Amino acid sequence: MSSQASVVLSDPLSTASSLLSPEMVIAASKRIAPFIHRTPLASSELLNQWLGHDIIFKMENMQKSGSFKIRGALNALLTLKEQNCLPEKMVAFSSGNHAAAVAKVGKLLGIDTTIIMPSFVSKVKQHATKGYGAKLILTDTRPQAEAMAAELQAKGVWLLHPYDDDTVIAGQGTACYESLEDGAKPDAIFAVCGGGGLLSGTWLAAQLLAPQAKIFGCEPTLGNDATRSFRSGHIVGFDATPMTIADGARTLKVAQRTFAYLQKLDDFYEVDEQDILYWTQWLQHVLKAVVEPTAAVPMAAAFAWLKTQTQKRRVLVMLSGGNIDTTTHQKIWEKDYLANVPSL
């Protein structure tokens, strides 16, 4: 990965420090625009009325491949293409939104793409990957999947990291950049932390178009490695995957590359599983959109922040994705949280 990253860091737009120049997000936005949906900003009159604030959602659940992840993957590959380095073959190991995004990008750009997943991954995710035309290799365990990916990488197949990559970070930042271009005008921006790619890009985008806005990261309490890292000033991680319902935030730890941005955020919020489920139900109800539990985490965090505010606020919530398998749907609707109307 380091040789791929150095190509980008040598770009004249990048700064001398380890942080990218925010202009990289503008370049990424122009680069990927022809291939993605410019997803809408949405809001709910009922929710705003109940909370007494304006909540604006960037609907990346309606993005191609069902999440924002395609932005980073596309920016990475299109950057390579501009440098005449587009790989013929690509591999990713993932059971989540990164897998779907890489498969979709492979199809868009005509790259021979292999996705390696453990066989316990739901059939619907397997079908989606194959539907995008990627080869699917199933292994018994996740370590086996990683080992097989490394094997392919050693043979010259290009491996796309989900967040430890400057072009990926710049790409993820385009979701926030679009929101600000489209007039979100937020007092505060909330995004979830998995590996930190979305938050890093969001911070960069805000420097350009909303430098006064506060930017908050958030995580499930069960997967609070980034929060603990933020508070302690150095990266701490989990040894075993935290089994939060928010499967996009199960990452063991952030990267040095993303931690440099996370340290610049205004604060981090931790969200309990029950609050994740509460907001997953309510966002589906008021937005009529399929919202995955990971995407409900920033709404729960925004709610906690709004409780502390004494004047009316405008909040931008990055609604990261909408990919949910049947088992997770069942877990989401096990209890009835819709009986309790949101109220500050």
Residues that bind its own copies (CB under 8 A): 46, 49-50, 61-62, 66, 122-124, 127-128, 131, 281, 284-285, 287-290, 322, 324-327, 329-330, 332-339, 341
What does DSSP assign to residue 39? P
Q: Which residue in 342, 328, 318 sits closest to 58, CA to CA? A: 318
The helix (H) or strand (E) run that includes residue 177 is helix 166-181
Is 135 an active-site residue? no
- CA atoms lying within 13 Å on the CB side of residue 243: 1
For its own copies, the closer CB: 239 or 334: 334
What's the min distance (Å) between Cβ of 116 and its own copies?
Answer: 21
What's the min distance (Å) between Cβ of 299 and its own copies?
Answer: 16
Is 10 an active-site residue? no
What's the min distance (Å) between Cβ of 149 and its own copies?
Answer: 25
Q: Which residue in 312, 295, 333 sits closest to 57, CA to CA? A: 295
Kindly tell me the burial class for residue 176, based on how many C-beta atoms sit within 10 Å of its own C-beta (0-12, 13-18, 19 or more).
buried
> Which of the following is catalytic: 95, 179, 200, 229?
95
| Amino acid at residue number 10 | S
Is 232 an active-site residue? no
Is 320 an active-site residue? yes
For its own copies, the closer CB: 238 or 333: 333
> Distance (Å, rounded) from C-alpha 217 to C-alpha 79?
28
Tokens of 193: 């932390």
Is 225 an active-site residue? yes
For its own copies, the closer CB: 48 or 221: 48
Is 223 an active-site residue? yes
Tokens of 282: 């309510």
For its own copies, the closer CB: 131 or 237: 131
The helix (H) or strand (E) run that includes residue 4 is helix 2-9
For its own copies, the closer CB: 70 or 262: 70
What's the min distance (Å) between Cβ of 25 and its own copies?
Answer: 25
> Which of the following is catalytic: 164, 178, 225, 247?
225
What's the min distance (Å) between Cβ of 83 and its own copies?
Answer: 29
For its own copies, the closer CB: 25 or 277: 277
DSSP 314-344: EEEEEE-B----HHHHHHHTSS-GGGS----
What's the min distance (Å) between Cβ of 163 and its own copies?
Answer: 23
Q: Which residue has the tokens 């590959």?
A: 77
Q: Which residue in 98, 2, 149, 195 sits closest to 106, CA to CA? A: 98
Give the active site residues.
69, 95, 219, 223, 225, 320
